[in-house]
């Protein structure tokens, strides 16, 4: 028994112990707070224990830092890092970690509330902690978050799918519309070409007729040239000149009988002969002139006819060339329309980019569907995992496996304490109590002493389950003021009975401030604090 007044430093032993073995205080304080504030240095803990015949000593200190592991009087590899040494100590020597140690070896008043006084949710926590299945609760909440995240992804993907579907539809319609309007355009242009071609054809037919007309005219038209007319006119002028000269000579011979130049007489016979000859010459010339005039007249007639027909031909030719110009204009229009049709056709054939876009949308949609399928599958899997991990799932299955063991142990301890009731915990950690005299009893109905027995039975059971679960065996048990409040009168006797007979072969350290227990233990360690330092009282 460790006894002492409040604040004498009893509970500090627990801090010292866990600090020495696990480099961590038992209470929720940090390591520097372990160092005594009076001298502020030289904090050292030495723990000696034996396991399977080997003697161990752990020395750990702060200010200066120190960590030594002694086995059978020999200090162990000091060259190894403190971390490695600590690992070795926990895994190879103690075979216990901080968590199991504080669950199995130490029962602290500050951490201990009787199980039956906890609400059901906290009972579940204790059991889950004990059975090391809290991990499933953490996994469960992780999975919940994951499912939520995947559902968000699914929603995003669904939005994407809908928008790509819309885009795809619009693109398809756009392509169809372009094709339709292009085809209409081409048809329209082909119609236009037909109209223009038939118009051109009309002009061409017209020209054929005109050419025929021209041919007809040219066939009837005489070849006329002004040379003949000119020659005739020249001849006329010459004949007229000759006639004038002849007339002048006639009038000379009629007026003159004497030569005015040489004054010689002109022989009358000669003169009359001459006049006669000249007059017959005149007659001849006149005959020639009238002949010539009729020829000229004829020529003039020919000319005017020729001119008239030539005029007609040139008018017709004019008409032909006008038509030709019209036709070539229309042909140009046709060519323009044809190249326009070609352009539209080419454009239609080269609408690759639009089709590429369409394919792209199709691929994206396909991908989105695949992603959605993957996500949906993933949700299904996570949902399944979730159903395994929630309270009714794997955890309950594990708890169910342990419940018979727990109930058996609790009842075994109760019997050891001469408390003959049948105590059962169900999956929800609610108790049922049956006994020959009590039916439908519950924890609350019992006296404080009886409650304490149930509490202890549960406590030892937890210890046993934890030990079993972690394959731990230890004979050390430290209870720090765990039952001080219920240890009065009858309770004390019961408690001591349990300690003596129930936990046989264990090294039990009871920390208490109850003076009444003082003479009930084979070893008593009294604590006192002097000038800020705790020590064993003399
Ligand atoms: N670092 C420290 N330096 C000096 N005194 C401390 C330090 N930490 C705690 N104390 C004091 O030491 C005492 C230890 O109390 P505790 O071990 O809980 O006593 P008990 O369990 O015997 O009632 C308390 O009075 C506390 O104020
Ligand atoms: Mg204390």
pLDDT tens figures, 165-179: 999 999 999 999 989
pLDDT at residue 110, as a whole number? 59
- Other beta carbons within 10 angstroms of residue 219's beta carbon come to 7
Q: Could you read off the pLDDT of 68-117 as tens digits, one per residue?
A: 999 999 999 888 898 999 999 998 898 888 877 887 788 776 566 778 88
- What tokens were used for 431? 């108790």
Same domain, 249 and 301: yes
Residue 203: is its pLDDT beyond 90? yes
- The ligand 1 atom nearest the CA atom of 12: 17
Residue 108 lies in a domain: yes
- Other beta carbons within 10 angstroms of residue 227's beta carbon come to 8
Contact, 128 vs 137, CB < 8 A? yes
Residue 14: is its pLDDT beyond 90? yes
Q: Whose CA is nearest to atom 25 of ligand 1?
A: 7
Residue tagged 């009294």 (tokens): 526
Fill in the DSSP letter of residue 265. Answer: B
Distance 13 CA to ligand 2 centre (A): 9
Same domain, 218 and 331: yes
pLDDT at residue 497, as a whole number? 75
Fill in the DSSP letter of residue 267. Answer: P
Residue 431: helix, strand or coil by DSSP? strand
Residue 212: is its pLDDT beyond 70? yes
Distance 515 CA to ligand 2 centre (A): 15
pLDDT at residue 516, as a whole number? 77
Contact, 128 vs 389, CB < 8 A? no
Residue 70 phi/psi, 5-degree rounding, is -110, 130
- The ligand 1 atom nearest the CA atom of 511: 21
Average pLDDT over residues 228-232: 92
pLDDT at residue 457, as a whole number? 87
pTM, 2 dp? 0.55
Q: If you count them, how many residues does the chain have?
A: 538
- Phi and psi based region of residue 185 (left: phi greater than 0; alpha: psi -120 to 50; beta: remaining): alpha
Distance 411 CA to ligand 2 centre (A): 31
Fill in the DSSP letter of residue 504. Answer: T
Q: Could you read off the pLDDT of 433-487 as tens digits, one per residue?
A: 888 777 778 888 888 778 878 888 888 888 888 778 777 778 888 988 876 766 6
Same domain, 336 and 467: no
pLDDT at residue 221, as a whole number? 80
Nearest to 447 by CA among 486, 393, 498: 486
pLDDT at residue 88, as a whole number? 92
Distance 489 CA to ligand 1 centre (A): 30
Q: Ligand 1 in contact with 33 (CB < 6 A)? A: yes
Domain CATH code at residue 522: 3.40.50.300
- What tokens were used for 428? 């929800």
Residue tagged 């002009």 (tokens): 203
- The ligand 1 atom nearest the CA atom of 480: 21
Q: Whose CA is nearest to atom 13 of ligand 1?
A: 7
Residue 447 lies in a domain: yes
Same domain, 240 and 126: no
Q: Could you read off the pLDDT of 373-416 as tens digits, one per residue?
A: 999 999 999 999 999 988 788 888 888 999 999 999 999 988 88
Domain that holds residue 222: 199-351
End-to-end CA distance of the chain: 16
Same domain, 111 and 49: yes
Fill in the DSSP letter of residue 536. Answer: E
Distance 525 CA to ligand 2 centre (A): 14
Same domain, 223 and 304: yes
Residue 533: helix, strand or coil by DSSP? strand
Residue 149 lies in a domain: no
Average pLDDT over residues 284-298: 92
CA distances from 475 to 104, 105, 345, 377 (A): 10, 8, 98, 52
CA torsion angle 202 203 204 209 (round to 10): 90
Residue 477: helix, strand or coil by DSSP? strand
- Other beta carbons within 10 angstroms of residue 65's beta carbon come to 10
- The ligand 1 atom nearest the CA atom of 8: 22
Query: Residue 227 — very low, low, confident or very high, per pLDDT cuts 50/70/90?
Result: very high
Helix ranges (H only) for 263-393 are 268-349, 352-389
Query: Residue 502 — very low, low, confident or very high, per pLDDT cuts 50/70/90?
Result: low
Residue 250: helix, strand or coil by DSSP? helix
Same domain, 453 and 339: no
Q: Whose CA is nearest to atom 10 of ligand 1?
A: 36
Q: Whose CA is nearest to atom 6 of ligand 1?
A: 36
Contact, 497 vs 504, CB < 8 A? no
Residue 175 lies in a domain: no
pLDDT at residue 487, as a whole number? 60
Same domain, 125 and 48: yes
Residue 140: is its pLDDT beyond 80? yes
- The ligand 1 atom nearest the CA atom of 13: 17
Which of 298, 326, 351 marks a domain boundary? 351
Average pLDDT along the chain: 89
- What tokens were used for 448? 């404080």
Question: Is-cis flag, bond preceding 64, omega within 30?
Answer: yes
Q: Ligand 1 in contact with 10 (CB < 6 A)? A: yes
- Other beta carbons within 10 angstroms of residue 395's beta carbon come to 23
Same domain, 333 and 397: no
Contact, 431 vs 443, CB < 8 A? yes
pLDDT at residue 403, as a whole number? 92
pLDDT at residue 147, as a whole number? 95
Distance 380 CA to ligand 2 centre (A): 53
Distance 442 CA to ligand 1 centre (A): 39
Residue 221 lies in a domain: yes
Residues 478 and 287: their CA atoms lie apart, in Å, by: 181
- What tokens were used for 338? 């044809």
Same domain, 415 and 506: yes
Which of 319, 351, 383 marks a domain boundary? 351
- The residues pairing with 43 across neighbouring beta strands, listed in sequence order, are 62
Same domain, 407 and 477: yes
Q: Whose CA is nearest to atom 1 of ligand 1?
A: 36
- Mutating to test ligand 1, I would choose from 1, 3, 12, 40 the residue with most ligand atoms within 8 A of its C-beta, which is 12
- Mutating to test ligand 1, I would choose from 7, 37, 45 the residue with most ligand atoms within 8 A of its C-beta, which is 7
Residues 366 and 412: their CA atoms lie apart, in Å, by: 66
Residue 418: is its pLDDT beyond 90? no
Residue 18: is its pLDDT beyond 90? yes
Q: Ligand 1 in contact with 85 (CB < 6 A)? A: no
- Mutating to test ligand 1, I would choose from 5, 9, 39 the residue with most ligand atoms within 8 A of its C-beta, which is 9
Within the chain, how many helices (H) and strands (E) appear? Answer: 11, 12
Residue 303: is its pLDDT beyond 80? yes
Residue 457 lies in a domain: yes
Residue 513 lies in a domain: yes
Domain count, the chain: 2
Q: Ligand 1 in contact with 9 (CB < 6 A)? A: yes
Average pLDDT over residues 229-241: 93
Q: Ligand 1 in contact with 25 (CB < 6 A)? A: no
pLDDT at residue 240, as a whole number? 94
Residue 153 lies in a domain: no
Average pLDDT over residues 418-426: 88
Residues 296 and 307: their CA atoms lie apart, in Å, by: 16
Same domain, 208 and 339: yes
Q: Whose CA is nearest to atom 16 of ligand 1?
A: 9
């Amino acid at each position: 028994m460790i006894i002492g007044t409040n604040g004498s430093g009893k509970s500090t032993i627990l801090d010292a112990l866990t600090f020495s073995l696990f480099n961590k205080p038992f209470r929720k304080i940090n390591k520097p707070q372990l160092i005594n504030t009076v001298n502020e240095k030289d904090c050292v803990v030495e723990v000696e224990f034996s396991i399977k015949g080997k003697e161990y000593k752990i020395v750990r200190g702060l200010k200066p830092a120190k960590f030594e592991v002694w086995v059978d009087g020999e200090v162990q590899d000091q060259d190894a890092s403190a971390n490695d040494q600590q690992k070795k100590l926990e895994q190879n020597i103690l075979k216990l970690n901080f968590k199991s140690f504080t669950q199995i070896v130490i029962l602290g008043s500050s951490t201990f509330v009787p199980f039956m006084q906890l609400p059901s949710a906290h009972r579940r926590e204790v059991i889950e902690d004990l059975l090391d299945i809290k991990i499933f609760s953490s996994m469960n909440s992780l999975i919940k978050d994951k499912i939520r995240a995947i559902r968000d992804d699914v929603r995003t993907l669904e939005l994407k799918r809908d928008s790509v579907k819309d885009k795809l539809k619009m693109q398809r319609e756009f392509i169809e519309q372009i094709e339709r309007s292009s085809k209409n355009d081409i048809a329209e242009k082909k119609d236009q070409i037909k109209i223009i071609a038939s118009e051109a054809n009309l002009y061409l037919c017209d020209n054929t007729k005109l050419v025929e007309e021209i041919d007809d005219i040219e066939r009837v038209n005489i070849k006329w040239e002004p040379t003949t007319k000119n020659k005739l006119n020249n001849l006329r002028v010459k004949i007229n000149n000759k006639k004038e000269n002849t007339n002048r000579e006639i009038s000379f011979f009629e007026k003159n009988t004497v030569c005015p130049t040489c004054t010689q007489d002109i022989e009358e016979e000669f003169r009359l002969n001459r006049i006669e000859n000249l007059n017959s010459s005149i007659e001849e010339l006149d005959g020639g002139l009238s002949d010539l005039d009729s020829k000229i007249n004829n020529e003039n007639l020919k000319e005017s006819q020729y001119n008239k027909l030539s005029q007609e031909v040139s008018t017709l030719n004019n008409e032909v060339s006008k038509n030709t110009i019209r036709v070539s204009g229309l042909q140009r229009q046709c060519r323009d329309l044809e190249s326009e049709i070609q352009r539209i056709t080419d454009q239609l054939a080269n609408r690759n980019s639009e089709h590429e876009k369409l394919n792209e949308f199709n691929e994206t949609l396909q991908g989105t569907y695949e992603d959605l399928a993957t996500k949906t599958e993933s949700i299904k899997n996570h949902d399944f995992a979730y159903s395994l991990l929630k309270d009714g799932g794997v955890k309950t299955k594990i708890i169910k496996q342990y419940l018979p063991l727990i109930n058996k142990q609790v009842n075994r301890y109760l019997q050891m304490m001469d408390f003959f009731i049948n105590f059962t915990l169900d999956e929800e950690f609610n108790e049922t109590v049956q006994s020959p005299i009590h039916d439908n009893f519950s924890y609350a109905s019992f006296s404080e002493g009886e409650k304490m027995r149930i509490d202890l039975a549960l406590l030892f059971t937890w210890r046993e389950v934890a030990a079993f679960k972690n394959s731990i065996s230890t004979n050390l048990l430290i209870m720090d003021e765990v039952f001080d409040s219920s240890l009065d009168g009858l309770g004390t006797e019961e408690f001591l009975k349990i300690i003596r007979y129930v936990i046989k072969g264990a090294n039990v350290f009871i920390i208490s401030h109850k003076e009444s227990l003082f003479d009930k233990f084979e070893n008593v360690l009294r604590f006192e604090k002097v000038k800020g330092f705790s020590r064993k009282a003399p």
